[in-house]
Amino acid sequence: MVEKIRQQLSGKKKAILGFGREGQATYALVRKLFPGEELLIADKNLSVAGDPFLKNDSHIRFFLGDHYLDVIHSCDILVKSPGIRLNDLDPPLPAEKILTQTGLFLQHYASGVIGITGTKGKSTTSSLIFHILQVAGKETFLVGNIGTPVFNFIDRIGKETIIVFELSSHQLEYVRASPHIAVFLNLFQEHLDAYSSYEDYQEAKVNIARFQGRADYLVYNSGDALVDRHVRSLGGVQHLLPFTMQCEPQPGVYISDGQVCFSDGISKRPVWKLDQKRYLKGEHNLRNIMAAAGACCISGIPDEAIREGILTFKGLEHRLEYIGEFRKIHFYNDSIATIPEAAMEAVKSVPNTDTIILGGFDRGVDYKPLADFISGSGIRNIILAGVAGRRIGESLEPFQSKEQKIFYISRFDQLKDIVFRETRPGHACLLSPAAASYDEFPNFEERGKRFRELIRSKE
């Protein structure tokens, strides 16, 4: 695979666009393959020029600061990092000039990849699949949007290695190959600030299956109307494996007689009993379990390993993470919930929620369905943060019941006094913001960490 990438890039003036974790991993591989060639590195961050990672490399030309995109005029190909937008360029760049680490890897190793996308549940489902594969004794790596660039493992990948690849819309946008097993979880409004339209965001996601062939599989949520519509419009030749709670598709993954069942279209078998203990709470996580079970059944993983994997997987930080009981109040950290639908699922999963913390950075999503849901949820205290919080409040006030209290805060840290004063003993306080964190925090992880610190602090 590495040799094929070398051949593809050979003889071309190469630029790396974006020098975060993925850009650095791309640099390491490109420099290994082409040690003496000039390499262009472009990034809006001026401090990249002083990165210790580059201090001994005398064959670099930088394009930094506000005009970093000028690099496009000085190279034959760009290896673009996720999140950097090129769609607004006039004239637009030829598609063949834009490469990505994800696209390069899929071009040459798609047959060994289980790829997972969706607006919500990607990290949980990817991590669960990875955990099940480990339980089964498979050689596997978990890479992609979850935080580890796939090129970090490229020298350790063999013919039997299974790559579990969490794929964001940004990583999928420019790919021209799709994973052997694609898992498509759901579609909701998110990242609207990064795309010209909601439709453009959806089209990027659909690339997870757009280039599949006859030997490939698509595990998809047929209960999600948007996902189902896109799958039908593809008219692809891949094997389809829907998962749903609403019927018994053949083939498919579905609920029957209190069990998660798998059918290959010829025979069916139970894989997981619903009354068994699981750490992943809520109906949304049951869908994640169904998706993971489908992907693992296709991969030939024994049912015993799938059951043990589901039983022992404890979930991830900031995803309905139980922080503990403090002053007789139960606290849950669901900072990953950056859209209304995720917050609503969290409330369903924590039925004794007395206080919820919502809001943050406003990306223009529709909060009216969330407001309607919260007003009828029985939650007594609603703490609203940031610009998104104020907009949620505007949507909520017409539905607000007499028993509900709304508290607006200008800084995240102000929530602590309200939470401990207003939440009834024996009930729960839930951080499930339905908004991004970028107004006060660089990411949802830092927001979740700060929530834990505030609640655990004795001050």
Question: Using 50, 70 and 90 to split pLDDT, how confident is the model at 402?
Answer: confident
Q: How far apart are CA 154 and CA 338, in angstroms?
A: 32
Helix segments in 34-160, DSSP class H: 101-109, 122-135
pLDDT of residue 191: 63
Strands 77-80 and 381-385: unpaired
Percent over 90 (pLDDT), the chain: 86
List CB contacts of 257: < 8 A, sequence separation 6 or more.
270
**Cβ-contact 154, 1 below 8 angstroms:** yes
Q: Is position 88 within any domain?
A: no
Q: Last residue of some domain: 81, 112, 133?
A: 81
**Cβ-contact 1, 108 below 8 angstroms:** yes
Residue 56 C-alpha from the chain's centroid: 35
Q: Residues 138, 206: one domain?
A: yes
Q: Residues 289, 367: one domain?
A: no
Q: Residues 169, 245: one domain?
A: yes
Q: Last residue of some domain: 264, 287, 312?
A: 312
Q: Residues 27, 142: one domain?
A: no
Given a cut of 80, whether residue 366 has pLDDT beyond it is yes
What digits encode the pLDDT tens for the residues 227-263?
999 999 998 899 999 999 999 999 999 999 999 999 9
Residue 319 C-alpha from the chain's centroid: 12
Task: Give the number of domains in the chain.
Answer: 3
Q: Which one has a higher pLDDT value, 193 or 15?
A: 15
Per-chain mean pLDDT for the chain: 94
Q: What is the DSSP letter of 52?
A: G
Token pair belonging to 416? 């602590």
Q: Is position 89 within any domain?
A: no
CA distances from 308 to 272, 274, 277, 281, 365 (A): 10, 14, 11, 17, 39
What digits encode the pLDDT tens for the residues 310-338?
999 988 889 999 999 999 999 999 999 99
pLDDT of residue 401: 77
pLDDT of residue 311: 95
Q: How far apart are CA 356 and CA 411, in angstroms?
A: 16
Q: Residues 164, 250: one domain?
A: yes
**Cβ-contact 428, 381 below 8 angstroms:** no
Percent over 70 (pLDDT), the chain: 99
Q: Is position 249 within any domain?
A: yes
Q: How far apart are CA 328 and CA 456, in angstroms?
A: 13
pLDDT of residue 459: 58
For the segment 84-97, the average pLDDT, to the nearest whole number, is: 85
Q: Residues 426, 278: one domain?
A: no
Q: How far apart are CA 9 and CA 74, in angstroms?
A: 16
CA distances from 255 to 103, 229, 286, 291, 322 (A): 35, 22, 10, 12, 27
| 457: exposed, middle or buried (Cβ count in 10 Å: 0-12, 13-18, 19+) | exposed
Q: Is position 339 within any domain?
A: yes
Q: Is position 39 within any domain?
A: yes
Q: Residues 282, 352: one domain?
A: no
Question: Using 50, 70 and 90 to split pLDDT, how confident is the model at 212?
Answer: very high
Q: How far apart are CA 451 and CA 416, in angstroms?
A: 9
Q: What is the DSSP letter of 151?
A: G
Q: Residues 180, 252: one domain?
A: yes
Q: How far apart are CA 5 and CA 418, in angstroms?
A: 56
Return the CATH number at 435.
3.90.190.20
Which residue is it, tokens 């819309």?
Answer: 169
Q: Is position 330 within any domain?
A: yes
Q: Is position 87 within any domain?
A: no
What digits encode the pLDDT tens for the residues 266-304?
999 999 999 998 889 889 999 999 999 999 999 999 999
Return the CATH number at 41.
3.40.50.720
Nearest 10 degrees: Cα torsion 3, 298, 310, 431: 70
pLDDT of residue 458: 74
Q: Residues 119, 66: one domain?
A: no
**Cβ-contact 429, 416 below 8 angstroms:** no
Strands 329-333 and 428-431: parallel
pLDDT of residue 193: 65
For the segment 341-364, the average pLDDT, to the nearest whole number, is: 94
**Cβ-contact 168, 190 below 8 angstroms:** no
Question: Using 50, 70 and 90 to split pLDDT, how confident is the model at 221?
Answer: very high
Given a cut of 90, whether residue 421 has pLDDT beyond it is yes
pLDDT of residue 89: 84
Q: Last residue of some domain: 278, 312, 346?
A: 312
**Cβ-contact 434, 364 below 8 angstroms:** no
pLDDT of residue 192: 62
**Cβ-contact 141, 163 below 8 angstroms:** yes
**Cβ-contact 76, 99 below 8 angstroms:** no
Q: What is the pTM of this model?
A: 0.83
Question: Helix or strand or coil: residue 1?
Answer: coil
Q: Residues 132, 197: one domain?
A: yes
For the segment 126-142, the average pLDDT, to the nearest whole number, is: 97
For the segment 195-206, the average pLDDT, to the nearest whole number, is: 89
**Residue 65 region by backbone torsions, left for phi larger than 0, else alpha for psi between -120 and 50, else beta:** left
Q: Residues 389, 345: one domain?
A: yes
For the segment 305-310, the average pLDDT, to the nearest whole number, is: 97
Which structural domain, as residue segments, surrounds residue 123? 102-312
For the segment 90-104, the average pLDDT, to the nearest whole number, is: 91
Return the CATH number at 151.
3.40.1190.10
Q: Is position 256 within any domain?
A: yes
What digits encode the pLDDT tens for the residues 448-459?
999 999 999 975
Of 74-83, 125-134, 182-191, least confident by mean pLDDT is 182-191
Whether residue 92 is preceded by a cis peptide bond, meaning omega within 30 degrees of 0, is no
> Which helix (H) or strand (E) segment is 212 a member of?
none
pLDDT of residue 194: 65
Q: Residues 120, 255: one domain?
A: yes
Nearest 10 degrees: Cα torsion 261, 117, 196, 384: 80
List CB contacts of 119: < 8 A, sequence separation 6 or more.
185, 186, 187, 188, 189, 190, 205, 339, 341
* Beta-bridge partners for 116: 166, 183
